[in-house]
Structure 1
Amino acid sequence: MTFENSSAPSTPGPRVVTVIQQDANVPLDMFEKWLDGVEVRTIHSYAGDEVPVDPAEVGDGLIVLGGEMSAVDDVVAPWLPATRELLAAASVAGVPTLAICLGAQMLALARGGRLQVAAPPGIETGVIDVQWRPEAVGDVLLGGLLDLTVAEERRSTPMPSNHGDAVVDLPRGAAWLASSAMYPYQAFRIGSAWGVQFHPEAGTDLLSQWAEGDDDVDAAEVRDAYASRADELTEAGRTIAQAFVRLVNESTVTRAALV
């Protein structure tokens, strides 16, 4: 699957965002409607679609979704090496990139960070409070979430979560943006890429589906937790998606002007 080089778009129209879906059960979900104003093209790597390694082939933006495999399970998921290579290249090339959960772990690894499979704190699932660090203030993708916090001193936002592996060392030069009570590296930025351990794209049905597939998780408790904060969760996820669309459009214009 090949797209025009995004550095110099020749015709007006919606910008192209490539989505790498790595698991049939981890789709774009709510982002399908929130990524309004861009053309989304999905590569189903789990189904055999080839993953490009050249960032010029993804269009104007890149989103890498999560999955049940680990970020280093190359035998089970043979597309992982190409996806890690693409993430590293896109983050250096200036392509706006959002890597979610497994995607975030792959981004960290691709840029020299360190991952722990089945991390000792255990599975972090359901609705968590993502706590923003000072470095997140003014961040062009995630900074708007600070405006949604209940109180200035709290600086946290509820987010859906579902993972057991975790980043334990960020890549050198990465900006650490957020943590949670259970895991420190909930969000980071490196180059033109953002990694988020939480799932801003997940709605209540998808989060419940994940919970129902794990015998160690109380699916009813997860559903109730989401329902109690549904408005906050929806607003937060939509805020990230819309900020990403703005970033893609603004970045494309900037890169075109430099050509």
Structure 2
Amino acid sequence: MRITVIEHEAGAGLGFFAGWLAAAGAECEVARPYLGEAVPERAADGLIVLGGEAAAWEDEDYPWLPATRDLLRRSVDGGVPTLGICLGAQLMTLACGGSVERGGDGLEVGVRRIVPLPAADGDPLFDGLLDGPQPVVAVQYHGDAMTRLPEGAVPLATGDAYPNQAYRLGERAWAVQFHPEATPEIFTGWVDGSAGHLAALGHSPAELVAGGEAAGPRLAAVWRPFAERFAAVVSTSTSTSASSTSASSTSAASSAVASSSATAAAAIAAPETASTPGTVPAPVAAVPVPVPVPVTEG
């Protein structure tokens, strides 16, 4: 199975997900539009849109964003398993009719608590994942927020600073405001790159980095099953699509063979009909034929 990945900047790649998805049998095809690569018109078997420093509406500074929103909308509408992460979640929200704005509570950064909502029970990705005696945490780094979800979206998780942390749209599309893919090393890179800005806002870069490093094992323990479940959704979707295509092809072949058989039978019967002028030809029975997916980091 193949998963299309849209990467918005060099420091915000697949992180943990690269190894986890590969181990689950997925081949990730990464498009890097910030390097001039085109955003594909169609996703492969699945789609992941990663985070980045852009705001979801900054089309002039990031000219590939409209194409990315179009890709997200087509994928959601077409039932392609889709995962939007931070900026990717915000782009998906805009593409599908929701709203994204500058966050009223300022920058959310660090290893923060993620709280499940009732609809998480039974969800293909979140079911049971956020339960347990200890709070579930994830890396956060964003200053924009999903303020109105698309019509039909099912909220799955909330948090302390911003309520819309995760939702599902349809059966196979998910948006998460946090970063389940971010390794401690990736998070450290984000903090180091904006250390002055963070300090000016009252955050301690050293404490943020230490918190990310300490949480590494907990992050991997929670979010690896999440990535594996997404890969399973992609795999199941791929198998279902292949079965449907095969069934359609077989049905079309059966119809073609039956039509051909009926035509042949009629042709064989035609001479007898012609030899008896003025009579109504008897119906000819058909012969059965067997048919063998610094601006703050998003």
With normalisation by structure 1, the TM-score equals 0.88
Partner Cα separation in structure 1 for residue 8 and residue 173 of structure 2: 18
User: Where does residue 215 of structure 2 map in the other structure?
Assistant: 229
TM-superposed CA distance for 1:222, in Å, is 1.4
Which of 158, 161, 175 is residue 154 of structure 2 equivalent to?
175
User: Where does residue 270 of structure 2 map in the other structure?
Assistant: none
Pair 1:213 & 2:201 matched? no
Pair 1:86 & 2:71 matched? yes
TM-superposed CA distance for 1:144, in Å, is 4.2
User: Where does residue 143 of structure 1 map in the other structure?
Assistant: 127
1:46-57 equivalences in 2 (<5 Å): 46-53=34-41, 55=42
Number of aligned positions between the proteins: 236
Partner Cα separation in structure 1 for residue 209 and residue 142 of structure 2: 17
Pair 1:112 & 2:120 matched? no
Contact 1:69/1:77, CA 8 A, preserved across alignment: yes
User: Where does residue 242 of structure 2 map in the other structure?
Assistant: 256
User: Where does residue 128 of structure 1 map in the other structure?
Assistant: 112
RMSD: 1.3
User: Where does residue 248 of structure 2 map in the other structure?
Assistant: none
Pair 1:166 & 2:142 matched? no
Mean CA deviation greater in 36-45 or 227-236: 227-236
Pair 1:63 & 2:43 matched? no
TM-superposed CA distance for 1:193, in Å, is 1.1
Which of 32, 42, 47 is residue 18 of structure 2 equivalent to?
32
Contact 1:61/1:95, CA 8 A, preserved across alignment: yes
Query: What stretches of structure 1 of length at least 5 have no aligned partner?
Result: 1-14
Query: Per the alignment, in what secondary structure is the counterpart of residue 210 of structure 1?
Result: helix
Contact 1:43/1:50, CA 8 A, preserved across alignment: yes
TM-superposed CA distance for 1:20, in Å, is 0.4
Partner Cα separation in structure 2 for residue 99 and residue 80 of structure 1: 13
Contact 2:89/2:175, CA 8 A, preserved across alignment: yes
Percent sequence identity is 42
Partner Cα separation in structure 2 for residue 242 and residue 84 of structure 1: 25
Partner Cα separation in structure 1 for residue 86 and residue 128 of structure 2: 20
Which of 12, 15, 21 is residue 7 of structure 2 equivalent to?
21
TM-superposed CA distance for 1:92, in Å, is 1.2
TM-superposed CA distance for 1:256, in Å, is 2.0
Query: Per the alignment, in what secondary structure is the counterpart of residue 145 of structure 1?
Result: coil
Query: What stretches of structure 2 of length at least 5 have no aligned partner?
Result: 246-298
Partner Cα separation in structure 1 for residue 217 and residue 26 of structure 2: 25
User: Where does residue 262 of structure 2 map in the other structure?
Assistant: none
Partner Cα separation in structure 1 for residue 151 and residue 31 of structure 2: 29
Partner Cα separation in structure 1 for residue 138 and residue 240 of structure 2: 31
TM-superposed CA distance for 1:129, in Å, is 0.5
Pair 1:195 & 2:183 matched? no
Which residue type is aligned with residue 161 of structure 1?
Answer: Q
Query: Per the alignment, in what secondary structure is the counterpart of residue 254 of structure 1?
Result: helix
TM-superposed CA distance for 1:257, in Å, is 2.0
Which residue type is aligned with residue 132 of structure 1?
Answer: P
With normalisation by structure 2, the TM-score equals 0.76
TM-superposed CA distance for 1:219, in Å, is 2.1
TM-superposed CA distance for 1:109, in Å, is 0.5
TM-superposed CA distance for 1:172, in Å, is 0.7
Contact 1:137/1:146, CA 8 A, preserved across alignment: no
Query: Per the alignment, in what secondary structure is the counterpart of residue 124 of structure 2?
Result: coil
Which residue type is aligned with residue 113 of structure 2?
Answer: D
Partner Cα separation in structure 1 for residue 206 and residue 232 of structure 2: 36
- Give 1 or 2 for the bigger CA radius of gyration: 2
Partner Cα separation in structure 2 for residue 250 and residue 43 of structure 1: 24
User: Where does residue 3 of structure 1 map in the other structure?
Assistant: none
Pair 1:44 & 2:32 matched? yes
Partner Cα separation in structure 2 for residue 124 and residue 254 of structure 1: 39
Partner Cα separation in structure 2 for residue 187 and residue 168 of structure 1: 12
TM-superposed CA distance for 1:251, in Å, is 1.1
